[in-house]
Homo-oligomer: A and B are copies of this chain.
Amino acid sequence: MSRSSTGYHHGDLRRALLEAGAALLEEQAPARVSLREVARRAGVSHAAPYHHFGDRGGLLKAIGDACMGDFLARQEDAAATQSDPADRIVALGEAYVSFAAERPHAFALVFDPELCPPQDPSPERAPLIARNEELLAECVAAWLTARGRGPEDLEALSTAFWGAVHGLAALVGEGQLGREQVAPALRALVR
């Protein structure tokens, strides 16, 4: 029942809606992604999405989950390309910023607190968040030991680094900063 794409029941509407919504998100900010437009692009009636996602928030949340997956994949890739701890941290940060620069609306959606409250996040996203924090902590810990320091500041430094990278990413995503200003700032930080 879930295979054919032709036919009255469309076969795979959920995926089609997710794809249409993700495509729309590349063009417009999350607030302007309308359920009706997504349905229109998927070629179904405006009320069709309601059966698959409870409401507009449900659709946005599902799209956000997918974006979070993309984001995490990029983070993992970036971390894997470098072996030196300092370089790895910089690579992590640059991947973070690249995502925000190239897909600003997806980035905004991923961190929208109304769609996925940081306290009790959706069961779909919780493992992704955990994995991301784990990755960051690993890199910071490696960097600390490489500099001959104990792990006493690990948590403070992790949040500091997260804050720095997140802020640079947000500012770039908002157009407040040029992308070329990021690398020097990051390097100045891990100096």
Interface residues of chain A, those whose CB is within 8 Å of chain B, are: 29, 31, 111-114, 117-119, 153, 155-157, 159-160, 162-171, 174-177, 181-182, 184-189
Asked if B113 and A175 make an inter-chain contact with CB atoms under 8 angstroms apart, the answer reads: yes
Closest to A172 in B: B163
* Chain B min CB distance to A135 (Å): 16
Asked if A188 and B157 make an inter-chain contact with CB atoms under 8 angstroms apart, the answer reads: yes
- In the assembled complex, the Cα of A82 lies from the Cα of B156 at a distance in Å of 23
Q: Can you offer 6 A-B residue contacts whose CB atoms are under 8 A?
A: A155-B184, A159-B181, A159-B185, A163-B168, A166-B167, A170-B170
Does more than half of chain A's interface fall in helix, strand or loop, or is it mixed?
helix
* Cβ contacts under 8 Å, A164 to chain B: 160, 163-164, 167, 189
Instruction: Report, nearest first, the 4 A-B pairs whose CB atoms are least far apart.
Output: A167-B167, A166-B167, A163-B168, A164-B164
- Once A31-B31, A118-B175, A176-B113 are accepted as A-B contacts, the answer to whether A186 and B160 lie under 8 Å apart by CB is yes
- Once A118-B174, A167-B165, A171-B166 are accepted as A-B contacts, the answer to whether A156 and B113 lie under 8 Å apart by CB is no
* Chain B min CB distance to A161 (Å): 8
* Cβ contacts under 8 Å, A114 to chain B: 29
* Chain B min CB distance to A134 (Å): 16
* Cβ contacts under 8 Å, A169 to chain B: 167
* Chain B min CB distance to A4 (Å): 39
Asked if B176 and A171 make an inter-chain contact with CB atoms under 8 angstroms apart, the answer reads: no
Asked if A188 and B160 make an inter-chain contact with CB atoms under 8 angstroms apart, the answer reads: yes
* Cβ contacts under 8 Å, A111 to chain B: 170, 174, 176
